[in-house]
Structure 1
Amino acid sequence: MSDPLLDVRDLVVRYGQVTAVDGVSFSLAAGETLALNGPSGCGKSSTALAVLQLRRPDSGEVRFEGRELTTLPEPELRPLRPRMQPVFQDPYGSLSPRHRIRDAIAEPLKVQGRWDPEKGPARVAELLDRVGLDPAYGDRRPHELSGGQCQRAGIARALASDPRLLVLDEPVSSLDPSVRAGVLNLLADLQDDLGLGYLFICHDRAVVRHVADRVIEMREGRVTSG
């Protein structure tokens, strides 16, 4: 078998005297959806932050595409960050209310020094179309979109970096039930087309059963099954 896309071993995250993640281990293959399931406060989101190195763990290993991330200094970690992208729970809170959608999607490319003034606008339009939005929506601001549309724009922003891994932290929990299925089907189609690995953070067992290839149950910072 090929090496896993993501391999986490004995992960520990503490906040002061509180241990939020206590020895968590799992692996994730390219093209696979692994769900972290459990109640609020069980350590799911802290695990996600540590995987993304947005919160450096106190101990343990996070290997992404074979590279150990926890010991890398930021200058060496920075080129790897585009390949690991988050999609957050609150679609409105993850996008600046002052920026048009097209500018929010273009921002990662500009930050990474990959923006082409000639081809960039067409790339943004392509990304909007890929997530099921009319490219004309690029002229709007987040408050002019529905929750489902705004989450699709957030997914387009994550895709702009050509990632291999998406860390999806409760990506449909704030959406109306009537639009959840559409976003979940979009994520499934993107995974089929692009071979993405998904670390899917969720407390809803019905959603987990629908999307996950494997499920890890967490309680009080520890893996209880999976």
Structure 2
Amino acid sequence: MSDDALLDVRDLVVRYGDTTAVDHVSFALAAGETLALSGPSGCGKSSTALAVLQLRRPDSGEVRFEERELTTLTERELRPVRPRMQPVFQDPYGSLSPRLRIRDAVAEPLRAQGRWNAADGPARVAELLDRVCLDPSYGDRRPHELSGGQCQRAGIARALASEPRLLILDEPVSSLDPSVRAGVLNLLADLQDDLGLGYLFICHDRAVVRHFADRVVEMRDGRITSEWRPRAPDAAPR
């Protein structure tokens, strides 16, 4: 990978006590690319994602994002970086506060980052909901009033509010029905095409990975065992 990789992970190690969850893992990801981390449960995929996000500080190794080394930054120094790399989690209901209406959940990052403006904020939230194919009227509902697929779309809208360059997608469709799963994957593909987003896509389902990813890194027991490409570079669009 060239020096201008969006994300460059080198010799990443994450330990929990005497257990090494991530064992000298290295990979790179370009803007507009989908790199999948695949493998059985407990192989280190999610621990790798948490370390990339600096939600779990690695024990050693480097995480370079937009050519900046993250592991040496303090929490204060990470604040302007975090909006640029956003997670989307597996459980669409658990990732949204049950007390907040959808419009407030989507607006939450804007408020936290000091970018909320009462004059145009509601229009921005409506735009984000429309972007993920949710009618803006869904903003008045709470998570339990939405289906799992609709909740996951709302979670994606919230991630997009920060105008990220990288999404960390941790099993984002594994809890959804197959027909709903296809719709969310198609949405993610369209957003990537429109916005040039990079995706680190954690998924154990090889059929989904084969359909969605540009490159696949297989993990087992915390280590990378292989890397492969499911589609030729000139394959038809997703």
- Compute the TM-score of the two structures, normalised by the length of structure 2: 0.94
Is residue 205 of structure 1 aligned with residue 206 of structure 2? yes
Distance 2:215 2:178 in 1: 23
Structure 1 partner of 2:152: 151
Q: Which amino acid aligns with 1:139?
A: D
Displacement of 1:2:
6.0
Q: Deviating runs (4+, > 6 A) in structure 1? A: none
Aligned residues: 226
Q: Which aligned pairs between 1:11-26 and structure 2 lie closer than 5 A?
A: 11-26=12-27
Distance 2:3 2:118 in 1: 38
Distance 1:120 1:6 in 2: 31
Q: Secondary structure at the match of 1:60?
A: strand
Q: Secondary structure at the match of 2:116?
A: coil
Distance 1:5 1:20 in 2: 24
Q: Secondary structure at the match of 2:79?
A: helix
Displacement of 1:103:
0.2
Q: Secondary structure at the match of 1:107?
A: helix
Q: Which amino acid aligns with 2:74?
A: P
Is residue 41 of structure 1 aligned with residue 42 of structure 2? yes
Distance 1:18 1:58 in 2: 12
Let me know the Cα RMSD of the aligned residues: 0.6
Structure 2 partner of 1:109: 110
Structure 2 partner of 1:72: 73
Structure 1 partner of 2:55: 54
Query: Which consecutive unaligned segments of at least 5 residues does structure 1 have?
Result: none
Percent of aligned pairs sharing the same letter: 87
Distance 2:204 2:3 in 1: 30
Structure 1 partner of 2:137: 136
Residues 123-170 of structure 1: per-residue CA shift (max 9 Å, x gap): 000000000000000000000000000000000000000000000000
- Compute the TM-score of the two structures, normalised by the length of structure 1: 0.99
Q: Which amino acid aligns with 1:134?
A: D
Distance 2:5 2:212 in 1: 19
Q: Secondary structure at the match of 2:80?
A: helix
Residues 165-199 of structure 1: per-residue CA shift (max 9 Å, x gap): 00000000000111100000000000000000000
Distance 2:208 2:117 in 1: 38
Q: Which amino acid aligns with 1:19?
A: T
Query: Which consecutive unaligned segments of at least 5 residues does structure 2 have?
Result: 228-238
Structure 1 partner of 2:232: none
Distance 1:2 1:56 in 2: 23
Distance 2:215 2:179 in 1: 25
Distance 2:189 2:4 in 1: 23
